[in-house]
Amino acid sequence: MSEDTHEARTPPGGDPVTDGGAERADEPAEDVALDPWGSATVGDYADLFAEFGIESFDDVADGVPDPHYLMRRGVIFGHREYDAVAEAMANDEPFAALSGFMPTGDPHIGHKLVFDELIWHQERGGDVFGLIADLEAHSARGMSWSEIDEHARDYLLSLLALGFDPEEGELYRQSDNREVQDLGFELGSKANFSEFEAIYGFDGETNISHMQSVVTQTADILYPQLVDEPKPTVIPVGPDQDPHVRLTRDLAVRMRYFKVTEAFASFELDDDERALVRAAYDALAGGSDDGHEINDAETDVRCTDAAEWLADYEPPEAVAAAKPDAVDTLRAGGKEPLRPRVRFFDRNATDEAFEALIEAVDGEKRVFGGHVDAFDLSREEAESIAREVEIDHDGFGFRQPSSIYHRFMSGLTGGKMSSSIPASHISLLDDPEDGYDKVRAATTGGRDTADEQRELGGEADECPVYELYAYLLAGDDDELTKTVYSECVNGERLCGGCKEQAAELMREFLADHQEKRADVEDLLDDLDIDLDSDRRGTGGEH
């Protein structure tokens, strides 16, 4: 979740308003490797949807009020459950955003993507948190505390200079946040080495502090929900940080007192089976397709009836594989009535909390040793009751955190952007003239000659300079990105003039940013954040 590397390949970064930002179909996709501390490689972003369950941002984009330009241009390409955050934003309900930064070098233009995403969510009323992942930097990268202090100051100055409001948000260091460390200890009781091995590739040589820093990051991700109340929370990151998000989503569920599901009878179903049984029930009980409201108490649908109906039903492809098991389960249910209800499972609750839950459930209910079935509640109502009871009895009531993912930027020299190759990236601390020179020297998607460029057009989708316009230099001006893209691919724009324009914009941006950094130095000094650590230690992996 902490952003510190830009050693990753970007897919074609065309303006989605023009070309959708899609991969070229004739290019072989690279393997997907998501490593929060290494060189993340994403050859085809579509692979992330299939392999890791990341969803396309296009699916939720229409529900986002006044979307950020990174969303409009497809730079933010994927999400996990961002619709919950977008809905809270649209309805003026509480929501939060958090991201972290591992202080291992200068803040660079890749970090600016995350800075901007945090600030945008803050401007739309979110509780926003920015953290310095100093424990991770010390344990996973072997950074000394004095180096960490210096880099942390630079990150925070850039975040403040870009517009983060510390009075409306919170900035902190992992090592100084006792609530985060205490929460990490509790979360650690729900994690084990086997899943660390599976998710991160840890082995017998991995130092314990590195593992501890991972648990601390899961606590960071859930920390906004300790402030005031559990609420939808988004983590803006690059896809290499998705392992932290996946682990945290699992831990958030494991920490809950109660699990709430939909059920139809005494037996249990998985999600796909549940969808099939719902279809059978709706069809046999009067059907919801014709708008008829089903009165559950008056229906006489039996499991065997539903099994026969389902055996002849051709389900959607997404759930087709679950059909045989669902049919077998229904047949085993025999003449048991099929009747929808919500089911509360006792997962971690104290006896007092379980009794309080029973008391809180209104209407018809059936109480069993380890669960409660309620017949007059919606799933949403049931989730709200479970969370309220949990919080009232010293539980956390966590919601699963959401996330959004942005594309990696290409290196200015082609290939990956790497902090070890100064010419391939631009630091926010670079002298404006150096920034100008780096852009002027950048690789482009242009043709070999000006005549070819005019005849065939440039390849903006493979051009690091075009990416600079789309990701940074054009700011909120969509017309500029459209113009640059269109003139390039139509052969009207030559690379020399395009780079000159981009280089001038980069020089102006760096000069303005560094002036603003100087302006907020006093503001940073006044914040309650220690940038002069007295910690001792040699760090972990080197």
Residue 37: its pLDDT value, please?
45
Domain that holds residue 215: 45-255+400-406
Per-residue pLDDT of the chain (542 residues; tens, 9 = 90+): 765 543 332 333 333 333 323 232 333 334 545 455 454 455 566 666 667 788 999 999 999 999 999 999 999 999 999 999 999 999 999 999 999 999 988 999 989 999 999 999 999 999 999 999 999 999 888 889 999 999 999 999 999 999 999 999 999 999 999 999 999 999 999 999 999 998 888 888 888 898 899 999 999 999 999 998 999 999 999 888 999 999 999 999 999 999 999 999 999 999 999 999 999 999 998 754 444 344 444 468 999 999 999 999 999 999 999 999 999 999 999 999 999 999 999 999 999 999 999 999 999 999 998 999 999 999 999 999 999 999 999 999 999 999 999 998 888 987 777 666 778 889 999 999 999 999 999 999 888 899 988 999 999 988 999 999 999 999 999 999 999 999 999 999 999 999 999 999 999 999 999 999 999 999 999 998 999 888 887 766 64
In this structure, the answer to whether residues 384 and 463 fall within a common structural domain is no
Residue 141: its pLDDT value, please?
85
In this structure, the answer to whether residues 441 and 502 fall within a common structural domain is yes
Residue 415: its pLDDT value, please?
74
Task: Output the six-digit token pair for 506.
Answer: 């980069």
Closest by CA to 122, choosing from 70, 63, 168, is: 168
Q: CA 519 to CA 161: how far, in whole Å?
A: 8
Q: CA 103 to CA 107: how far, in whole Å?
A: 8
In this structure, the answer to whether residues 245 and 342 fall within a common structural domain is no
Closest by CA to 133, choosing from 257, 31, 216, 228, is: 216
Query: Domain for residue 488, yes or no?
Result: yes
In this structure, the answer to whether residues 267 and 234 fall within a common structural domain is no
Q: CA 116 to CA 513: how far, in whole Å?
A: 13
Final residue in a domain of this structure, among 376, 406, 436: 406
Pairing of strands 402-406, 233-237: parallel
Residue 44: its pLDDT value, please?
65
Asked whether 467 and 410 are in contact (CB, 8 A), the reply is yes
The tally of domains found in the chain comes to: 3
In this structure, the answer to whether residues 289 and 250 fall within a common structural domain is no
Residue 411: its pLDDT value, please?
87
Residue 414: its pLDDT value, please?
79
In this structure, the answer to whether residues 168 and 264 fall within a common structural domain is no
Residue 295: its pLDDT value, please?
45
Residue 42: its pLDDT value, please?
53
Closest by CA to 102, choosing from 147, 41, 145, 152, is: 152
Query: Domain for residue 196, yes or no?
Result: yes
In this structure, the answer to whether residues 244 and 342 fall within a common structural domain is no
Query: Domain for residue 541, yes or no?
Result: no
Domain of residue 457, CATH code = 1.10.240.10
In this structure, the answer to whether residues 235 and 119 fall within a common structural domain is yes
How would you class 268 by CB atoms within 10 Å of its CB: exposed for 0-12, middle for 13-18, buried for 19 or more? middle
In this structure, the answer to whether residues 270 and 226 fall within a common structural domain is no
Residue 252: its pLDDT value, please?
97
Domain of residue 165, CATH code = 3.40.50.620
Please state the pTM of the whole predicted model: 0.86
